């Protein structure tokens, strides 16, 4: 799919994800829920954005 002429390209945001396993090979997942009445629930791995600074 070609973006429309003059469209702003998507921002690039480096991220990282971890797969955390215990000695029984169980995977740590986090659960989130959409607060709206008909909202869904989803599971995801630990992770987030990566900063460029070394501070």
Query: What pTM, to 2 d.p., does this model score?
Result: 0.57
- In whole angstroms, give the CA distance from residue 25 to residue 47: 19
Q: Give pLDDT, residue 27.
A: 96
* C-alpha closest to that of 48 among 17, 20, 27: 17
Give φ, ψ of 23 to 5 degrees. -65, -15
Q: What is the CA radius of gyration of the chain?
A: 18
The answer to whether the CB of 45 falls within 8 A of the CB of 29 is: yes
- pLDDT, tens digit, 9 for 90 and up, residues 1-55: 677 888 888 888 899 999 999 999 999 999 999 888 888 889 999 999 998 776 5
């Amino acid at each position: 799919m070609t973006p429309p002429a003059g469209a702003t390209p998507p921002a690039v945001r480096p991220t990282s994800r971890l797969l955390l396993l215990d000695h029984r090979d169980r995977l740590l997942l986090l659960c989130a829920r959409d607060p709206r009445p008909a909202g869904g629930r989803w599971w995801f791995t630990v992770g987030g954005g990566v900063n460029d600074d070394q501070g």
